[in-house]
Amino acid sequence: MTTTDWNSVNGTLTRFEKISTGWSRVGEEISVVVGKNGLAWDAVTVAHGIRTEFIKREGDGRSPAGIFLLKQEFGFDSSPVTNKMQYLPLTGQIECVDDVKSRSYNEVVNRNLISLPDWHSSEKMREVEQYKLGIIVGYNPGDVKSAGSCIFLHIWRGPGNGTAGCTAMEEMRLRQITKSLDEKKHPILIQLPAAVYKRLRNPWRLP
């Protein structure tokens, strides 16, 4: 997925599958939106040699730039779109913790299963209409404080309507992507400004 520059909200997602000879494109380009303030470099694994004033921080309204594992499907339905990914049905007890002081920072948890909830801020995911269907993005897997939290693929509000830091698209498009995912193939999300993608394409062996 690429955007025009670090501050762009609209982007274009193109799917590829790794084959023996390289990369094979799958389907057509998909229009997406990122954070309302654009992209910022992954605060945990900033690429050497890439200069940017934008480093991902909690609450900055930017989506992380980099390469991230797609971990788990979630949604309002009791059954998943695909049976090849773990699925989390959202109930009223499911929250994603964005309180940097919490032991559960950047984790999706069932509040009823936490003996001593210590957070004062979280996303109550079942209450967010755009989380009718989504994918958990493996950003900040070490839960580094203030590096950013609760990053997903989810349904958008429409073109030009940026998110708090996720990547969003039409529900139909998200369903297409979800159906194609297989956790055994270790699906990833690559998102970068176009100029950075062009620079890193060969050294990182990107599509």
As given in the structure block, the two tokens for residue 101 are 């002081």
User: What's residue 9's pLDDT?
Assistant: 98
At 36, is the pLDDT very low, low, confident or very high (cuts 50, 70, 90)?
A: very high
Mean pLDDT of the chain: 95
Token pair in block for residue 160: 């030009």
| Confidence band for 21, pLDDT divided at 50, 70 and 90 | confident
Q: Are 143 and 107 a contacting pair, CB within 8 Å?
A: yes
Question: pLDDT digits over 54-67, tens only?
Answer: 999 999 999 999 99
CA gap 122, 99 in Å, rounded: 7
Residues 169, 184, 138, CA angle at the centre, nearest 5°?
Answer: 50
How confident is the model over 126-164, as pLDDT tens digits? Answer: 999 999 999 999 999 999 999 999 999 999 999 999 999
Helices and strands counted in the chain (H then E): 2, 13
Render the burial of 151-170: b for 16+ CB within 10 Å, e for the rest. bbbbbbeeeeebbbbbbbbe
- Asked whether the CA dihedral 97, 102, 106, 108 is positive or negative, the reply is negative
Distance from the Cα of residue 125 to its chain's centroid: 15
Spell out the domain ranges in the chain. Answer: 2-200
Cα torsion 167, 190, 96, 81: sign: positive
